[in-house]
Amino acid sequence: MLEELRPTDRRAALVVEHLSKRFGDRVAFEDVSFEVGYGEVFGFLGPNGAGKTTTVRALGTLIAPTSGAASVAGIPLSAANGPAIRARISIMPESPGLYQRLTIAENLRCFAGLYELDDIPGRIERALKAVNLLDRAGDSCGSLSKGLRQRVALARALLNDPAVLFLDEPTSGLDPVATHDVHELIVSLRERGVTIFLTTHRLTEAERLCHRVAILNSTMRLLGRPDELRERLFKQSLGVRVRDPIEDPGPVFGDLPGVDGWRMSASGCYELAVSDAQIAAPALARALVDAGADILSLAESHHSLEDVYLQLIDEDVEAIRR
Amino acid sequence: MSFSWTRVKALLVKELHDYRRNRFVVVFAMTMLPLIFITAPTVQLLTAPAVVSSSKLDARIGLALLYMLLIPATVPSTLAAYSVIGEREQGTLEPILSTPIRREEFLIGKALAVAMPTLVVAYAIFGIFLAITALFANPVIESAIFAGSHIPVQLAFTPLLAGWSIWVGIAISARSSDIRTAQQLSVFANLPPVAIVALMGFNVITPSTGLTLSLAAVLLALDALGWRAVAAMFDRERLIVGRRR
């Protein structure tokens, strides 16, 4: 029975050490290492073909890694432990994969049986309540919109109260309203302390939902909290807009405390790289007033996760070119 | 982790619900096809002359019963050929394989889901055929069918042929890249046992007790080994990513 195998590694929900997967000569992902704590929402970002889905499949014991080690929900990753691992996790693939001729309740009943769950009616009710579909249980899945199908797939993934919930591109192909609904559901799961491994290439999604993110492009490129990644890749900067261009900005910006450099952006703003914005901003305002410039705005520039992502992917493209 | 009949049952119930709402299965495989198979043998026997030589009578009965055996030999192959590749094409294979289900449980569940309606239909059609024979056929024909070994042979060979047909169909389904190819190949793969039964029906091969028992034993062995062979061919990774390791 499933209960025969107890988790041996309680450090984290996921521990991945130097995991690699190759299909013949093609590398899907290589030397990937990370840990995901219980209750954490972990974003796994990367461009198409970066190996995100393959990583999920490997951790879900659907495919065998070529090398490396991992433990999933405290159980060492191996083919023999596959059924026990799959009993403790849920994977929501990019495509909902529902039986179109069956009703929502029949779809969920089938999966509850496959997980050998007790109190199946109660579990189905709770899962449907979590995705706000309790009143649609008798509807045929073939009659649902794409957004509703995605919610049914999420309900299915919640049936077994998974120790780790893998969401593979959960908002792919959804309209903004349906995307918002799925985001709200993920937020509610995060508040309930569900461990979520979220693969996406929607960076705002990751920034909004995830405690930490990893950027994968066949190899692991970066791992940390979104704000940490921004700080690691980008210097602090100030953005200034003035009514008319400054005739000779060099002397104005050059001697300011805390300013390391400056450039004019394509939009006509001045961007100043600073070591400490708290010191540089007041000094900059005074210098601009002294230079007779009319200040329209002066603000600290914020780099989004998208900037971080694009910077890394650009580096990879450059490296390939070289 | 041990084999779980609970998971097999969950899959079986799902399959039966799905069949019930699948127009192709209900209308064609379970209704039209059996109707086609019962019409020809019934006509064969009801139109037989009152006085007929023993060899001609045997040929007529053999041909009629051959039609009956074509149901378990052909009907399940179409459904079985759909079983794995059909799940893959509708995007449900990955979610189902992401559950704790073992491949043996998956295959047994799929096989039972094909076997149950097949056997129900095959035996029901045979029952109707016997009823028509008893009520309307020439007494000579009636006694030849009811007094001989035809009925036990028919009852025994129906599940044996269905088993062969199902495992071959599932094996092909697990290795095919599209449904149409899988269904065509499984029909071809079912030709050998159908051919042997046909040769016996037409007395090209004399259906002695020994030969019948030998054929039954071979089919039984193939059925018993079938699910193990298909389980060995069932490669979860290949089915998910569409390529070999």
Task: Summarize pLDDT for B7-58 with one digit per residue, the tens.
Answer: 999 999 999 999 888 877 776 766 777 778 888 888 878 887 766 677 777 7
Greater confidence, B202 or B188? B188
Euclidean distance between CA atoms B102 and B23, whole angstroms? 30
Please check whether residue A30 lies inside any domain of the structure.
yes
Average pLDDT over residues B190-218: 76
Whether A201 is covered by a domain: the verdict is yes
A99/B92 CB distance under 8 A: yes
Q: CATH no. for residue A205?
A: 3.40.50.300
Q: How many CA atoms lie within 13 A of A321 on its CB side?
A: 6
List, in order, residues 6 or more apart from A26 with CB less than 8 Å away. none
More confident residue, B143 or B9: B9
> Same domain for A162 and A281?
no
pLDDT at B148: 73
CA-to-CA distance for A195 and A193, rounded, in angstroms? 6
pLDDT score for A1: 42
Residue B244, pLDDT > 60, answer no
Shared domain for A284 and A165, answered yes or no, is no
Q: Check whether residue A48 and residue A141 sit in a common domain.
A: yes
Residue A244 sits in the same domain as residue A135: no
d(CA B114, CA B75): 9
DSSP state of B25: I
Mean pLDDT of B142-150: 81
**What pLDDT is stored for residue A2 in this prediction?**
44
Same domain, A186 and A247: no
What is the value of ipTM here, to two decimals? 0.86
User: Of the candidates A180, A200, A230, which is a domain's last residue?
Assistant: A230
CA distance B8 to chain A (A): 8
CATH number at residue A277: 3.30.70.100
Q: CB distance B90–A63 less than 8 Å?
A: no
pLDDT at A4: 52
Q: Verify that A239 and A166 share a domain, yes or no.
A: no
For residue A3, the model assigns a pLDDT of 45
pLDDT band at B207 (very low <50, low <70, confident <90, very high): low
**B10 and chain A in contact, CB less than 8 A:** yes
Contacts of A218 (CB under 8 A, 6+ apart): A27, A28, A29, A30, A50, A51
- Residues A167 and A244 grouped into a single domain: no
**A310 in any annotated domain:** no
Dihedral over alpha carbons A65, A71, A77, A82 (to 10 degrees) = -130
Q: Write the CB contacts of B218 (distance below 8 Å, at least 6 apart in sequence).
A: none
- Chosen for mutation from A114, A149, A158, A169 (greatest number of chain B CBs closer than 10 Å) is A114
The 10s digit of each residue's pLDDT in B153-194 is 888 889 999 998 999 999 999 988 888 888 888 888 888 877
**Within a domain: residue A319?**
no
- Test B21 with A102 for CB contact under 8 angstroms: yes
Average pLDDT value for residue range B80-88: 91
Mean pLDDT of B211-234: 86
A134 and A84 in a common domain:
yes
Number of H helices, E strands in chain B: 12, 0
Instruction: Give the pair of three-digit tokens for residue B129.
Output: 């055929």
Residue A62 is classified by DSSP as S
Residue of A87, A96, A101 lying closest to B22 (CB–CB): A101
Rounded to the nearest integer, the mean pLDDT of chain B is 85
Q: Are A17 and A108 found together in one domain?
A: yes
Query: Domain range for residue A260?
Result: 235-302
**Nearest 10 degrees: CA dihedral of B113, B115, B117, B123?**
-170
User: Is A316 part of any domain?
Assistant: no
Q: HSE (CB half, 13 Å, CA atoms) of B71? A: 35
A12 in any annotated domain: yes
* Residues from A in contact with B at Cβ < 8 Å: 1-2, 4-5, 23-24, 54, 57, 60, 62-64, 83-84, 86-87, 90-91, 93, 95-102, 106, 109-116, 153, 156
Determine how many CB atoms are found less than 10 A away from the CB of residue B89.
Answer: 13
- Is the same domain home to A138 and A151? yes
Domain boundaries, chain B: 5-241
Please answer yes or no on whether A23 and B102 come within 8 Å at the CB atom: no
Q: For residues A287 and A249, what is the distance between their CA atoms, to the nearest angstrom?
A: 10
Residues A209 and A292 in one domain: no
Per-residue tens of pLDDT for chain A, all 322 residues: 444 556 655 679 999 999 999 998 899 999 999 999 999 999 999 888 889 999 999 999 999 999 999 999 999 999 999 999 999 999 999 899 999 999 999 999 999 999 999 999 999 999 999 888 999 999 999 999 988 999 999 999 999 999 999 999 998 878 888 888 889 889 988 888 889 999 988 888 888 899 999 999 888 888 988 877 777 766 778 889 999 888 888 888 888 888 888 888 777 788 888 888 888 899 999 999 998 889 999 988 777 777 777 777 777 777 766 6
Domain-embedded: residue A309: no
Same domain? For A82 and A177 the reply is yes
B 16-55: CB under 8 A from A: 17-18, 21-22
- Per the model's pLDDT, the better-predicted residue between B83 and B65 turns out to be B83
In a domain, A313, yes or no: no
Number of compact structural domains in chain A:
2
